[in-house]
Structure 1
Amino acid sequence: MRAVPAAAASVLVIGVLAGCASADPIAEQYRSGSEQNYVAGDGSVLEIAAESRDEPVTFAGELDTGGTLSSSDFDGDILVVNFWYASCPPCRAEAPDLEAVNLAYADKGVSFLGVNVRDDSAAALAFADTFNVTYPSLLDREGRILLEFSGLVAPNAVPTTLVLDRQSRVAARVLGQLSDRSILESLIDRVLAEK
């Protein structure tokens, strides 16, 4: 007699788990079998009020052009950090918009930085040349820079774009491809307006 309730409970648990899993877009991407080799974000935007921001983020890494760069090189600037890699289709699609915003804000105390999570320097530099990207990129194949952000506002998809305030705290995140450059401009403008 106990086998019937146990079997019924198993069916219920499987049904509940299947229902939960179907609402998870990351699980859906995996189950689809698309083999796209990246987790695409949905373009959702998260803004964090100044009084709710975590501690400043510090990081350092090797540039794709050689040499090193650290978060302290951007002290006092608003910093836009974009996590990307060369063969990621949404990264390629958003590259012109990121560069356009970079150029538009270059003289306003806003800096841009790429963090390449997969490629070697040759692939990263070829991407920059193809898409006329003028801002620097760090190489982060080991995930050290990514890890510095993971406890704060995790860049859970590639691409992810973060806006750091003047104190190097994460103020905003775009998870996935930037669908319209005006979104990033609005995020930057709001951080620029902060005292």
Structure 2
Amino acid sequence: MPSPISPRFSRKQALSLGLLGGAALLTACSADEDSLAAQANAGDSKGYIAGDGSVTEYAEAERGEPVEFENELFDGSTLSAASLRGKPVMLNFWYAGCAPCRIEAPELNSLHQTFGDKITFLGANVRDEKGTAEAFEKNFGVEYPSYRDLNGKVLLGLSKYVPAQAVPTTVVLDAQGRVAARILGQIDPSILRTILEEQANA
């Protein structure tokens, strides 16, 4: 597995990111910021784990092999990871009842409008039936397609990078289909914008 490197942010910026991640948790999934495991074992009915907004970038030389997955989109077509190569990809794991997914949806839409011609944007819905997912997309103006990943095929293909039930998680693939970055939890739009700019200009 590729070795993660620290994001190119100063110690002060990293502390600020940690505080932002904590604030996102308070408004989103849980007040418990200590560990993903503690949230998973809480015994409540939310059914997912809130990430802390942590960012992991992978050095180009350490990205390993391109990821492999294939699944059906909500429109009925099938799309494989191999067919996406040649262009960077932003892949966001989400579902309609996830509070931070709702918070970050407008930011992802804005980034899609900025980078949509240079980067392929996709969602991977891990829970909803078609009607629920489409209602979310309509309500939040989501213009890019999503995988219907109830069977977990996309999640399995990225299991080295995306913990099971960690929603939302955003993964950025480089043009070769290798994982370049991962954000666990609600995105910070400025950080994701920087990552996408780097991949668009690579």
Q: Please, what TM-score do these two structures have when normalized by structure 1? A: 0.81
**Identity over aligned residues, as a percent?**
48
Map of 1:189 onto structure 2 = 197
Q: How many angstroms apart in 1 are the aligned matches of 2:163 and 2:38? A: 19
Letter in 2 for 1:193: N
Select which of 161, 174, 177 maps to 2:186: 177
Select which of 75, 88, 107 maps to 1:65: 75
Q: How many angstroms apart in 1 are the aligned matches of 2:40 and 2:55? A: 23
Select which of 55, 80, 86 maps to 1:76: 86
Q: How many angstroms apart in 2 are the aligned matches of 1:52 and 1:28? A: 31
Q: CA deviation at 1:38?
A: 1.1
CA RMSD of aligned residues (A): 1.9
Q: How many angstroms apart in 2 are the aligned matches of 1:155 and 1:102? A: 25
Cα offsets for 1:67-99 (capped at 9, x unmatched): 222223322111000011111111111111111
Checking the alignment, whether the CA contact within 8 Å between 1:50 and 1:171 is kept in structure 2 is yes
Letter in 2 for 1:147: L
Residue 134 (str. 1) matches residue 143 (str. 2)? yes
Q: CA deviation at 1:138?
A: 0.6
Q: How many angstroms apart in 2 are the aligned matches of 1:26 and 1:98? A: 24
Q: Please, what TM-score do these two structures have when normalized by structure 2? A: 0.78
Checking the alignment, whether the CA contact within 8 Å between 1:83 and 1:155 is kept in structure 2 is no
Give runs of aligned pairs for residues 27-38 of structure 1, distance below 5 A.
Answer: 27-30=37-40, 32-38=42-48
Equivalent position SS for 1:69? strand
Checking the alignment, whether the CA contact within 8 Å between 2:60 and 2:180 is kept in structure 1 is yes
Select which of 104, 107, 110 maps to 1:100: 110
Structure with the bigger percentage of helix: 1
Map of 1:12 onto structure 2 = none
Q: How many angstroms apart in 1 are the aligned matches of 2:81 and 2:56? A: 22
Equivalent position SS for 2:180? strand
Cα offsets for 1:78-131 (capped at 9, x unmatched): 100001111111111111111110110012x21100000111111111111110
Map of 1:162 onto structure 2 = 171
Map of 2:36 onto structure 1 = 26
Residue 88 (str. 1) matches residue 98 (str. 2)? yes
Closer, same or farther in 2 for the Cα pair 1:50/1:135, shift >3 Å? same
Closer, same or farther in 2 for the Cα pair 1:120/1:189, shift >3 Å? same
Checking the alignment, whether the CA contact within 8 Å between 2:50 and 2:167 is kept in structure 1 is yes
- Structure 2 stretches lacking a partner, 5+ long: 1-31
Q: How many angstroms apart in 2 are the aligned matches of 1:82 and 1:23? A: 22
Q: CA deviation at 1:23?
A: 9.0
Residue 117 (str. 1) matches residue 126 (str. 2)? yes
Residue 143 (str. 1) matches residue 143 (str. 2)? no
Map of 1:51 onto structure 2 = 61
Letter in 2 for 1:183: I
